[in-house]
Structure 1
Amino acid sequence: MKSTFQKFDKWVDEIEELLSESPQKNIIQDLLQKFREEIRNKKENSNSTDNLYKQIFHKAPIGILHYNSEGVIDACNEKFIEILNTSKEKIKGLQIEDIKNEGVKQAMENALKGKKGRYEGMYTSFTSGKTLPIRVEFHPELNEEGDWVGGIGMLEDISERYEANKKLRESEAQYRTIFEQNDSVMLLIDIDDGSIFDANPAALDFYGWNLDEITELKIGDINTLPSERVKKEMQKAQKKDSGGFHFKHRLANGTVKDVELYSGMIIVEGKHYLYSIVHDITERVKAKKELQRFKMGIDNSSDIVVMTNMNGKIEYVNNAFVQKYKYSREEVIGKTPRILQSGKYSQAFYEKYWNNLLNRRVMKGEMINKAKDGELVYIIYSTNPIVDQDGNMNGFIAIQHDITEQKEAEEELAKSLKEKEVLLSEIHHRVKNNLAIISALLELNLYQRGKDIGIEEFVRSSQMRIKAMAEVHEMLYQSEDFSHISFKEYVERLINKEYSIIDGGKRKVTFKTNIDEVELNINQAIPVGLMIDELIMNAIKHAFIEKDEGCIYINLDKIGEQIKLSVKDDGIGFSNDVDLTETDTLGMTLLKVLNQQLKGNLQFENSSAGLKCTIEFPIRDISGSSSNMLS
């Protein structure tokens, strides 16, 4: 009994071994465990081995047959019949010689010789005609004396595994076709050590090694990263932590290329590999760098650059735009260039401008725009349509050169030229007229000399009046606009020359001035200067006769568009019997004539504390000559 149960255990072990690779392995192991439990129960509770044998034989999850020492099949279970789609009647009594499949026949004969026989492959049952993939093992059967008395065969239908293997082979064949014939560079990399397992023809052509050479390399020999970094990047690829990788790969000739690499896992011949599809992006990287340099150049260009889409909405402005127009990028992106319109042009002008651009015409010219703060910006512009390689317009680009400073300089130059033209046109008249004035003054002095004026006084007064006119011209020629002078500076310069010529330092006369910053046209400056000159000369000669020192006060105030001039001394004044406005002296006559020229109001205030003369006149930009000054 003990040997019989040992025989049963051995059969169960052999069945378990046979089915170790079956897809239903777990289910079968559960069934076999139940058989073992039944065997143990039979050992304890029953002396009948026949029932136990039958249960195991018929309940086994695989096909089982038995044949005697003559090679004649004398038993099989239901599973065996089911697998071959036959019947027990057709199976029982068959001999080994009847088996058509040589592999199966040889395995059965091996069992009769005391050896284990095995066959795996396609099998066609000659009793049913069914063809299927099978796995079968034959074991010798020994009696208690150890003699071979027959054999036991265990049959498994491996159709599922066969189909799976077939699909795997087809998949691998398909992969091999794709791998070999693909124009993309492809590598298979061993995930354990990074060695290159395979490379397709495109990879061999790209890298420059043959297959034997490249499969001797590791990916770290190609990738320029340090080895530790390469390992980390491989780990990322296995985990799919990155959609793509950007590396630099070294070729056989030493050239380094920029590559974009996409990786994933694949099983080839039962082993996991990292497959990598490699794209050469060297030209793309180069173009990108050139584009970045180009963009940097535009960003930092001193010229203003604006790009719009086909609807005229701004998509890009450079730094010069931001600096000149005072708008931030966020304020203008999505807006149209209408925000820069200065109001200097009609709507028709802008419509024509836009229509020409839509008709692919390049627009060039000068324009005045307006910045955010209202400042006017003068530009020279060139606006071009942006056309792609297929001839389609994608938008517009405007390049503007700021000429605001140039325009301001041109305006200043034009103004200066105009003033010089006016000056040159009047030089002849002024020289002639000033000579006429000098002649008239000399004539008046001669008239006065008939009233016992000394020769020296005659010369000094004439000299001073000429100096007053000359000072105006000297300051005029030194000024920037050639038509106006600073009157405050003029009076100060006139006082210094006046005092040195008239008195020669005999008396201590001081001057106190309070003069507003006023610019007078030359045709007002000369008569006002002559009037101040006349009043100063009169004060120095007559006001301080009985005094060793004195003070002359000169005030000039600008009140709106009026000038109020006063000259006062702290001398002895005039006798109350004298009506200054009725006197016919040279000085008074000259003051009256000059006052008429200015269209002013002349007044005198006389007291024992001195004489004060006040003239009020309107500021006028008088053009032309001063020929009628003393006429």
Structure 2
Amino acid sequence: MKPIKANSYKDFQKELGKLQAEHYHLQSIFKVAPIGIALVVEEKIEFINDQFCSIMNCENNNLIGKNFKDVFPDNEEYERVFKKHSEEIKNEGICKIETKFRRQDGAIIDIYLSSTLLDPDDQSLGTTYTALDITDRKNTERKLHTQIEQNEQILKTTLDGYILTDTEGKIEDVNQSYCEMSGYSREELLQMNIREVELQLSDKRIEKMIRLGRDRFETKHKTKDGVILDLDVSVVVMNFVQGPLVAAFIRDITKQRKAEKELKKSEEKYRSFFEYNDAVILFINHEDQTIYFANEAAVKYYGYSKNELIGMKISNINIMHVDTIKTKMREARKKKQNYFVFKHKLANGEIRDVQIYQTKLYLNDQELFSIIVQDITDQKKAKEEIRKKEEQFHTVIEAAGDAIFVADFETSRILLVNKQACKTLGYSQKELLTKTIGDLDPEFDEQNHRKNIWANLDEGESITIEVLHKRKDGTVFPVEVRTGIIKYNGNKAVLGFARDISERKQAEKLLRESEEKYRLLTETSGDMILLQDLNGQILYINQTGLDFIGTTRSEIEGKLITEFISQEHIELMNKRTEQRLKGDIRTCHYEIGIKLNPDQVVPLEIISSPIIQDGNITSILVIARDITERKRTEIELKQYREKLEELVKKRTFELEEKNKELEKYNDMFIGREFRIKELKEKLKIFEDKHNDKKL
């Protein structure tokens, strides 16, 4: 720096005033600068601006005079930054590094830190540090990285092929599924153009993709060994700064198309078979529900001529509404069901019950339904008579939740059982009808007094006893049997309603043995814990659950759990219960809402596990946790993710601009400091001379 010359003490005073004014002006600029600025001399913080205080979440006097090392989370991080600072200052005169600061409240934040010596020739004057809080940017980058890794994992594991190309067709990326599909290695494909495997790709198709941004079509690819594959392709065009890229998801439909062609070839072969078959056969057009073909048997059955039948709407024959017919046919395709029972009207107006067997076929590039019509009017009437006679008795028997048996009074041979009895004992109905009561009750033959009990009962009387039953697999379980004497097919018989009480017995035993052991565990848990039976009735709930819902044990136990579930999740709970009733023993994780009051629904994370005794599900253990805060966080993350790309670009641009501005401020600050120092020294010399003259 060049020395400042002055001809008099007055000139020095004037120059010093200017420099001091500029110094105060520069300090004001630093104070309001949008990035944190600190001056550190011999590891002590001598100056910080307001933005540095804001970053550290503290007042100015909390940092001034403190060791600069204190702003770092630990000595290791400080030493890392100081080492890099020393190396880069020596080589380049400035150091830029990403690091971490510990704020006054203890929070660790990400910082972009720049440093430079106030005077490269005199390190004792200190170091200027500028700090920019990049915590949000770093968090965003971490989330982006996680999302990218998840997407890459999906592409690697999907069964569909995936290819990424530029608009010229050069392959930029490919997954393992397509490599296996095409026979090429990943390395080979990345050196190829899509046109080398794609046989039907045209410039017009590419223009359409780019214009619309997406497309779906069928095409053909040639494998490495020359095999031609039929493929279903879904394309999405993604626009990036460097240019658009085309992502294609590819599914091999070669076998499907081959099967369709073979089916088409066979249609004509079987046409003559349909025409002269004795069964009533119609072909129905799938689109407009008109009769496309009718054989001679159909003409004879319905009483119309062939010309009248061909082209006739099926709704003219089927007395159901056309929308109902279409709905049932759609349901048939979904369920892969090939028959229905309808009422058809003949040409003479007579209504007949018919059973329709349906098959889909293709003829002349049309999708048709082949239906075979079987008249079941007489059969249905006979079955209806039998059904009415048996309906009442069997409805009661089959609807019962208990196992029901009817046995011959004299021989004890089983004459009738319901489905619940088969389910409980593990036998088919046919097997049980070959058994006697003694085959099911291991103590029956040894304690013949039970026969004496039957003998003392009059018809219509009943008695309840506890006995043991043996399943097909040999396991023995306790049952409660209500037995009585009835007439069955004109003969004296024994009617028994048997209820499995294994759960009750086991529950009583478990309660006696482990109630105190588990009571403390569940009652002190921070999560809500409850036990429900397979009907959804709450058997137990811990204190945490009671406090959360705001009720007492006597008010909630015995009620259905669906009484506390939000309306939108009741169907989910009922579905879970049905799965348990069918024997699903998996531990399930799902989310529901619980009603704390009519206006408040709180989201819960549920872990549901079955309680299994003797191979059967007896109850369900539910652990619930309030996830209100997590849901709120997920919403916020979604909002951040949507603005992520814009935020990163914006913050990067701001950082570059602020660094430029800071370098400008640094140059101004360093120059002014040296000028002020020099003027002070000159002023002192003049003052000394002036004092000497006075003496």
The normalised TM-score by structure 2 is 0.37
- Between 1 and 2, higher relative CO (CA 8 Å, sep ≥ 6) is seen in 2
The normalised TM-score by structure 1 is 0.41
